[in-house]
Amino acid sequence: MSEITAEQVAHLANLARIDLSSEEIARLTTELGQIVDSVAKVAEVATPDVPATSHPMPLTNVFRADTVVPSLTVEQALSGAPDRDGDKFRVPAILDEE
C-alpha cells in the first residue's frame, strides 16, 4: 500500500500549479493511493539489465537547417491572449523570482 498523504497531494498540486480545494485534495489522496498501488507493479520486471525506452522509434540526429522561416504576425501571436498591453502579453504581478 502506498502512503500518499494529503500533504503530498497538496505539494504536487502546488508543483502542478492547480489550486485544488481541500475536498479535491482529499479525494485525490485516496484515488492516487489506489492508482499508485496498481501501477507500482512496473518495478517487478524493471530489472537493471533492461534498458529504458523513451521513444518508440529509435531515431537519432533529426535536425533542421538554420534557415529563417516566417513567424506569426504579432496579431496572430497575440490573438488568443487573455490580456495584452500593446504587443506584449500582460500578466498579473509575479511573486516568485526567476
Which three three-digit cell numbers place residue 71?
513567424
- Per rule CB under 8 A, is residue 68 in the interface with another protein? yes
Residue whose entry in the numeric block shows the C-alpha cell 525506452: 53
- Per rule CB under 8 A, is residue 17 in the interface with another protein? yes
**Which residue number, 1 or 93, has a Cβ lying nearer to another protein?**
93
- Per rule CB under 8 A, is residue 23 in the interface with another protein? no
Residue 85's φ and ψ, nearest 5 degrees, are -140, 105
- Per rule CB under 8 A, is residue 92 in the interface with another protein? yes
- Per rule CB under 8 A, is residue 72 in the interface with another protein? yes
Rounded to whole angstroms, the Cα distance separating 52 from 63 reads 23
